[in-house]
Every structure is written in C-alpha cells, then in structure tokens.
Structure 1
Amino acid sequence: MAADPNVIVGIDASPGAEAALDWAADVAVARHDQLRICHAWRVAVHPLLDADRGHLVEAAREAAEELVRRAERRVRERHPELDVSTELLPGEPAVNLMSMAEGADLLVVGARGLNRFTALLLGSVSETLAAHSTCPLAVVRTTASGEGPLVVGVAPDEPQEPVEFAFAEAERRGVPVRAVRGWLYPQTLPGHVVVPAVEAVEIDRAERKEVTALLAPVRERFPTVAVRIEVGLAEPEAALVDASGEASLVVVGARRHRGRFGLPLGPVTRRVLHHARCPVVVVPV
C-alpha cells in the first residue's frame, strides 16, 4: 500500500502508453506527488523446451527493464524535479496494478483497444481497472491535449466523491467546471421524442435547481472555481461524450454493479470511457 502521496502510471509498449506517461507526470508535478512507473510483464505459455523457455523469459525481462528505463528517462528530461521510481510487476497487469494502486492518489493507464469491433476502444486492462480499482483511475488516449474546462457528470443521485475530485482538479489546473446532466423523456413513437416547449422549460429549471443544490457544498469549499451548469434533453452518456470534445478532462463516478449477470460498470461510465475525446477519470463511489 502506498505510504506517501503518489500517482501510479501503468505502461506497456503501445503507442498510448507515452501519452499516459506524460499526462501522469504532469499531474504528479501539479499535485506535488511522487510518480511511480509500473510495467507488468509476463511470458505467454508455449510448448517449448525448458532451455528455450528460460531464454524467452530472460529476453522478456530485459525488454521490460529497458522499457521502464526509457520511461524514467523521458519523465526526468521533462520534469527533473519530480520524484520518480520504477517497478516491474511479473504477472497479470490488471491484478498487479490494482494491488500497487491501493492507497494511491491516482492510477493512470493508456487506452489500448485492440478489439476488431470499433465500438470497443478501451482495452481489457483499462476496463478491468475501471470496474475494480479502489482509487481514482485516469484513462488517457493518444490524442489527449488541450487546456479546456473540466467536465463532470452530475446524475440525480450523484455521490460527492466525483464532484469533489473534479473541483479539486479544476482548482489545481485553473480551469472552470462544466457540470453536465442529460435528462430523458418518454418516446411517443420509436425514435421520436416530442417534448412540449413549456414542459421542457419546466424540466430544465427543475434539473438545474437540483444540480445547483448538489454542487453547493463543494462550491463552498472551492470558491475560486468557476462553474457552468448544463442540463438538457439528451442521454447522459451522449451529453458527456459531446462535452468531452472541448474538455481537458471528464470525471465520472464508477457506478459498479455486482449482480450475477450484469456488467460491473454502468452504461454511462462505460460509454464515456470508450468514446470520450479527452482523458477520463473514473472515481470509485
């Protein structure tokens, strides 16, 4: 378990790993945290002779060591003042990273989706961590950039943890918060939603009032953070994905389900993780 404030970044040899590494280092500097660079490595089981297997394991270990050395050099060149350490984790990446991240401020990984279906863009390790990590998880894509506002999803029963994380991060970055909520309306016919204008105004007003009340305690603790509340007729996940286009970060709560047949993550969190156009932080609740 981590004893000191630290940001942990899990890296591999994929293109997205460098973006995650750079993003994690920048966050660690802003937080005055340590940065721990971790790489989980393993050798696939093959029907090889013991002598050949030993050579394969040694080659894999050397490649892993070189990977973390390069990562450490990259970070030290960009942030020579940052406290950086590295660690090799033999075995399953998701399990090892979850263990390392217990007590950490933040766990950071890249989005490495290799599935043939284009809708599944996240990667099994990232999605496993999003479903089970005990600390906030940041998933960073290779296209992550920008100094835009910080977007936080505010559901009707939103816990305080994601909102507090969003405001604290916005204060560190010096950017405003966009608190986003989408509301739905019964369909009159499949694919057709007709909302009377007067009723839409009333719903907007009620939703905005509720979001304002939910944010009030956090706004008192972060009075310097500018806030814009956005509500409207939209699927909540679609509203957040759309807002991500101009955002520097999206924060969502991890609504985890432990039913026998259900997926661990709720549909809003999963869709935002798969389709957001900026880094996403999933805060366990």
Structure 2
Amino acid sequence: MRRPVTAGLDGFPESRTATHWAAHEALLCDAPLRLVHAWLLGSVTARQIPREDEQNLRATRLLADAEAELRERHPGLEITTELVPYEPEGALLAESEKALLLVLGSRGLSGVGGFLLGSTGLRLAAHAACPVALVRGAPGATPGAAGDVVAGVGTRHPADSVLAFAFDEAARRDATLRVVRADRRLPHPHRSASGGEGDAAAREELDAVLRPWRDKHPGVAVDARLVADSPGRAVVDAARDAALLVVGRHATGAARPHGIGPIAHASVHHAPCPVAVVPYD
C-alpha cells in the first residue's frame, strides 16, 4: 500500500495553502493525498448535543470543501479524507506513522518577522515518525513555486535520510540542489567556497559526503557551499529565494534543544519558504 502525503487541515484559511502544497507534493511523489481534520470536544451533556452536531457538521463541511477544491484542480489525484474525533497533536502523530510526509500550515508572520508556529506544530516537527513539511503563505498562494531546493548538512555526522530526501525533491522538481555546510570557524567570513575559496579540507569533506548521492542522482545539479556563519542563519539566508528548505532533526528530538535542534528551530521560524524537517538516527 502506498504511503500518502498527509495534510492536517484546520479551520484557518492559511491551512488551505498547505493542502494545495501537499497536493502538488503528492503528484510529484506519485502518492495519494490524505486530508485530516482533528478536533476534540470535552464531555457532552444532553443540552450540548446540538452544539456538538453543529461542530461536527462544520468540520465535515471543511473537509468536503477542501476535497472538492483539490479534485477540481487535480482531477487525477487520489484523495481521501478523515474527520478524527481526537486532539490534533495525538491524531497527527498517529498519522505520521503511516505517512510519506506530514504537511502543516502557518498562520503567517510573527511579530519579529518569523514563521508563526504554535507549540503543537513544533512538537509534531520534533516527534513525527515521518518528515514534516511546514508551509507558510497567505491563502491563495501558489504551491510548489519554482526555485532551488536548499539542504543544510553537516560533515561530521551526515544524515543519509536528509540527503536522500533533498536529492529526491530536487530530482522530482528538476531543480538545482543547494547544499549548505556552515561553520563559524571556516575562513573568509561572508563568502562561500563554491567558487574555490575557503578551507580545502572542509571542501574535501563535503565533496566526500555528497559523492555517493551525486552518483545516485546524476541528473541533479548540485551547488555545494561552505559558509563561515552560524548554521541556522546560513541555511535561512540560503533559502530566501528557494522553493524548499530541507533540514534534519535527531529522531530522539526530546533530548535536543527546542526538541528539533537549533538549526531546524531557526529554519521553521525564519525561513521564507516551506521547510521540510527530516528525522535521522
């Protein structure tokens, strides 16, 4: 059975942008799309039953409207929907066990110009069993916009799952993959080594990490960069005109700062494009 791309749909208009992005991703992956709306009522008395029925009707209509909109735009896409009477975080964590990718939306900009991501979204990014894509953008924004795929990587402990995801995304999109390895200790601050500058040993390490993936994906153009900056700031800067930013987080996210690690934390709060957070061992 093919794993679906699963989108969490809530009552906010911005989540519609995420469902359209998820539909585009499902088509790229040749995967079905699954729309999930989760909500949890407290204890219900006899007097509250009409209110429960009204909320259930509203939730059902939300899913039906989203499905109809996506079927009209993508008539060949396989779409399923489910209304889950459970709290959203637990429901979506359970969905991540059987999903290819979990897609969540953003409410827009925070007061400091970053990604407005609630605690539920942050915990899902930290603990989901599959990669989580966090999609920002106003309702009606164009999903799957053209641009490079950017991946933040390390060389001491390279994460195969992160590189596999990034190369696959670049291949499916016919996009250039920009790989960023950042370290404050690198020479030539504010300059990349893609043009021959920088530390030769660091360049050799990065090339060695990328070599097997380049061999596996010979059709993907790779722009590998060494940046003398903090990793979080470097990947956010690199993603300013990108279609997607791919970062990793350790599978045991609870043991890391912010649950997802400082690089992923900076990315999901400040990158202007969709961000895929990929778990690795």
TM-score normalised per structure 2 = 0.88
Q: Which amino acid aligns with 2:125?
A: A
Aligned to 2:254, what secondary structure does the other structure show? coil
Q: Which amino acid aligns with 2:32?
A: Q
What corresponds to 2:182 in structure 1?
A: 182
- Determine if contact 1:101/1:135 at 8 Å carries over to the other structure: yes
What corresponds to 1:172 in structure 2?
A: 172
Aligned to 1:215, what secondary structure does the other structure show? helix
Q: Which amino acid aligns with 2:14?
A: G
- Determine if contact 2:115/2:136 at 8 Å carries over to the other structure: no
Q: Which amino acid aligns with 1:57?
A: E
Q: Distance in 1 between matches of 2:224 and 2:111?
A: 37
Q: Distance in 1 between matches of 2:24 and 2:80?
A: 15
Give 1:114 shift. 9.2
Residues 256-285 of structure 1 deviation map (CA, whole Å, 9 limit, x = unaligned): 4434x9532111111101111000111111
What corresponds to 2:161 in structure 1?
A: 161
What corresponds to 1:151 in structure 2?
A: 150
Identity %: 38
Q: Distance in 2 between matches of 1:223 and 1:184?
A: 31
What corresponds to 1:190 in structure 2?
A: none
Correspondence list, 1:25-64, <5 A: 25-43=23-41, 50-64=45-59
Q: CA 1:120–1:78 in structure 2 vs 1: closer, same or farther (change >3 Å)?
A: closer
- Determine if contact 1:179/1:230 at 8 Å carries over to the other structure: yes
Aligned to 1:151, what secondary structure does the other structure show? strand
- Determine if contact 1:42/1:90 at 8 Å carries over to the other structure: yes
Q: Which amino acid aligns with 1:9?
A: A
Q: 1:258 aligns with which of 254, 261, 265?
A: 254
- Determine if contact 1:176/1:227 at 8 Å carries over to the other structure: yes
- Determine if contact 1:43/1:56 at 8 Å carries over to the other structure: no
Correspondence list, 1:88-103, <5 A: 88-103=83-98
Aligned to 1:265, what secondary structure does the other structure show? coil
Q: Distance in 2 between matches of 1:116 and 1:43?
A: 31
Aligned to 1:164, what secondary structure does the other structure show? helix
Q: Which amino acid aligns with 2:134?
A: V
Correspondence list, 1:152-231, <5 A: 152-156=151-155, 157-185=157-185, 204-231=199-226
Give 1:64 shift. 0.3
Q: Which amino acid aligns with 2:122?
A: E
What corresponds to 1:72 in structure 2?
A: 67
Give 1:194 shift. 9.3
Q: CA 1:235–1:202 in structure 2 vs 1: closer, same or farther (change >3 Å)?
A: same
TM-score normalised per structure 1 = 0.87
Q: Which amino acid aligns with 1:52?
A: R
Q: Distance in 1 between matches of 2:108 and 2:176?
A: 31
Q: Aligned pair count?
A: 269
Residues 205-255 of structure 1 deviation map (CA, whole Å, 9 limit, x = unaligned): 222221111011111110000000111211111111111111000001113
What corresponds to 2:18 in structure 1?
A: 20
Give 1:51 shift. 3.0
- Determine if contact 2:4/2:32 at 8 Å carries over to the other structure: yes
What corresponds to 2:130 in structure 1?
A: 135
What corresponds to 1:247 in structure 2?
A: 242
Q: Which amino acid aligns with 1:42?
A: L
Q: Decide which moves more: 208-217 or 220-229.
A: 208-217
- Determine if contact 1:204/1:232 at 8 Å carries over to the other structure: no
Q: Distance in 2 between matches of 1:205 and 1:114?
A: 39
Q: Give the unaligned 5+ runs of structure 2.
A: none
Q: Which amino acid aligns with 2:51?
A: L
Give 1:44 shift. 5.6
Runs of 4+ in structure 1 over 4 Å off: 113-120
Q: Give the unaligned 5+ runs of structure 1.
A: 187-192
Q: Distance in 1 between matches of 2:131 and 2:275?
A: 10
- Superposed CA RMSD in Å reads 2.5
Q: CA 1:243–1:99 in structure 2 vs 1: closer, same or farther (change >3 Å)?
A: same
Between structure 1 and structure 2, the one with the greater Rg is 1
Q: Distance in 1 between matches of 2:109 and 2:214?
A: 40
